[in-house]
Amino acid sequence: MTDLGVHVERAPGAAGAEQPIDYETLPAGVAGRLRDLITQGDLAPGTRLNERALGERLGVSRTPLREAFRLLAAEGLVLLQPNRGAVVVSLSLDDVRESFDVMSGLEALSGELACRHVTEAEVAEIKALTFEMLACHARRDLPGYYRLNHAIHERINLAARNRLLTQVYRTLNLRIQNLRFRSNFDREKWNRAADEHAAMVDALEARDAPRLATLLREHLNRKRDAVLEALRAEAAATPS
């Protein structure tokens, strides 16, 4: 049960069923697992990261865990406080609004440029990922849906063939992953987001740059509005 009252089925390896971390670089692997926990809300904004508890949960010592904290701090997901440890970054309402406003512009530009440069093979891959994602939506598998959703947006961005755009896109996107994830907690809004992705694939296949740019921009703007609405409701329900 999420904080908004919507059931979320955990994907394999998600919280509650931690799997051994088997990555070439241990700190990067630990950072990846923590990033997933932050995205899915298991480590909520403002949460102090307890080294002992997380070490036991992930099966690692404090050394790679602390290095993982530093990696996440460089991404803007964690705040390192002298003599107080690491805390999951918490964004203000203005931070959220501004981040999504900029992200919607980056998504729109990605879509516009992708229509110029995308290959048939890339279109086929994005279509296949979209079908898989919609299957997750039908099963109400939000973690699985979101993993594929992230991959689709990432591939559209890469198809734009603009390295600077990809660099800026990835940096900002990391900052709002948890918010993009939680924007689907409302079933009606999640249904609409899924429908929008089907329309995006059609626009990309048709190389309709103006339509894809508009779809992506509006898609992010609706996510922004859903997140702000939820955050304001939570603030109003919290005793002062």
pLDDT per residue, tens digit, the chain (240 aa), is 343 333 344 443 444 445 555 545 789 999 999 999 999 889 999 999 999 999 999 999 999 999 999 999 999 999 999 888 999 999 999 999 999 999 999 999 999 999 999 999 999 999 999 999 999 999 999 999 999 999 999 999 999 999 999 999 999 999 999 999 989 999 999 999 999 999 999 999 999 999 999 999 999 999 999 999 999 998 888 776
18 and 56 Cβ atoms separated by less than 8 Å = no
Beta-carbon contacts of residue 85 (< 8 Å; ≥ 6 apart): 48, 49, 50, 51
Q: Which two tokens stand for residue 167?
A: 């660099």
**CB–CB of 29/58 below 8 Å?**
no
What pLDDT, on the 0 to 100 scale, is given for residue 11? 41
All CATH 1.20.120.530 domain ranges of the chain, comma separated, are 93-237
Q: Assess contact for 78 and 174: CB atoms under 8 A.
A: no
State whether CATH 1.10.8.60 applies to domain 93-237: no
The CATH class for the domain spanning 26-88 reads mainly alpha
Contact assessment for residue 226 and residue 189, using Cβ atoms and an 8 Å cutoff = yes
| Start and end residues for every CATH 1.10.10.10 domain found in the chain | 26-88
4: number of Cβ within 10 Å: 13
Query: DSSP 3-state assignment of 142?
Result: helix
